[in-house]
């Protein structure tokens, strides 16, 4: 009983179910189970048959694709309140990407059969899930566009500019921020390999556009760095 109440409390905060009454959330929560995943643990693999929908209660999940050679492309990182694997719940196909825990995460899971039955009774939930799928599709189109029409240098510069704008701390030397991962993890985000990330960081440092110290970056002149995105790489 306490577990069901806890799940209902978590579901009430999820945007997908925001239009449901307290009683409907209570009924829905009876179909969910809690699962715990450790940092680095794989929840599902690309190509696996769809078992159901995962909702993040706490922690963070990474959605990614892998090539035969082992290269990864991160498609998204999702936090509390987000759902994962909506599309195969409806089209019946396998999971189109793999999902792993970035950090220790608490997940709420519902089977495909139970969710489809609930959506037949509550079409507004299906419409909200469609909106989530649409937003994710738009994000994927943006990733495809970046990979197709920009260089690694341009993608790295764009990421550094975003970090400087959102996480930069003003110092006498410029805007300072920490890289959100290793060079390998950044390579996964940018759709490239670690060596190219390191090489381009060193090139930017040689040009005086960034100062690199371990995982700390200082951008002395943000307009000058941003200008690289407007011209040739």
80-89 per-position pLDDT tens digit:
988 888 889 8
CA proximity to 46, closest of 78, 9, 94, 85: 94
pLDDT on residue 5: 62
Q: Per-residue pLDDT tens for 194-226?
A: 899 999 999 999 999 999 987 899 999 999 999
Cα 104 to Cα 124: distance, rounded to the nearest angstrom: 31
Report the 10 Å Cβ neighbour count for 64: 18
Task: Look up the pTM and report it.
Answer: 0.70
- The answer to which of 53-57, 66-70, 86-90, 188-192 has the lowest mean pLDDT is 66-70
Name the superfamily (CATH) of residues 2-148. Answer: Jelly Rolls (2.60.120.10)
Tell me if 75 sits within 8 A of 64, measured CB to CB: yes
pLDDT single digits (tens) 130-148: 888 888 888 888 878 888 8
Strand partners, 219: 175
For 115, the token pair is: 């969710």
Dihedral of alpha carbons 46, 51, 57, 58, sign: negative
- Looking at the predicted structure, is the pLDDT value of residue 1 above 50? no
How many CB atoms are closer than 10 A to CB 16? 20
Choosing among 1.10.10.10, 3.40.50.300, 1.10.1300.10, 3.40.50.10190, the CATH entry for 150-227 is 1.10.10.10
CA dihedral angle for residue 119, residue 134, residue 148, residue 201, rounded to 10 degrees: -90
Task: Report, as an integer, the average pLDDT of 88-112.
Answer: 92
Q: Where are the domains of the chain?
A: 2-148, 150-227
Spatial CA neighbour of 12 closest among 105, 4, 123, 116: 4
More reliable by pLDDT, 76 or 161: 161
**Can you say whether residue 132 is alpha, beta or left, with left for phi > 0 and alpha for psi between -120 and 50 degrees?**
alpha
């Amino acid at each position: 009983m306490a577990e069901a109440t806890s799940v209902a409390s978590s579901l009430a905060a999820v945007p997908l179910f925001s239009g449901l009454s307290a009683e409907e959330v209570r009924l829905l929560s009876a179909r969910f189970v809690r699962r715990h995943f450790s940092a680095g643990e794989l929840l599902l693999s690309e190509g696996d048959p769809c078992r159901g929908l995962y909702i993040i209660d706490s922690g963070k999940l990474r959605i990614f694709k892998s090539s035969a050679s082992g290269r990864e492309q991160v498609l998204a990182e999702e936090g509390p309140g987000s759902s994962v694997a909506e599309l195969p719940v409806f089209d019946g196909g396998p999971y189109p990407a793999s999902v792993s825990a970035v950090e220790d995460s608490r997940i709420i899971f519902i089977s495909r059969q139970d969710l489809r039955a609930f959506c037949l009774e509550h079409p507004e939930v299906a419409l909200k899930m469609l909106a989530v799928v649409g937003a994710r599709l738009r994000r994927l189109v943006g990733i495809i566009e970046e990979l197709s029409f920009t260089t690694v240098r341009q993608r790295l510069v764009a990421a550094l500019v975003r970090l400087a704008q959102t996480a930069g701390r003003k110092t006498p030397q410029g805007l300072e921020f920490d890289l959100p991962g290793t060079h390998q993890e950044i390579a996964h985000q940018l759709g490239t390999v670690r060596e190219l990330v390191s090489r381009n960081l060193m090139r930017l440092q040689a040009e005086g556009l960034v100062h690199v110290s371990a995982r700390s970056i200082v951008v002395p002149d943000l307009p000058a760095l941003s200008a690289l995105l407007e011209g040739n790489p």
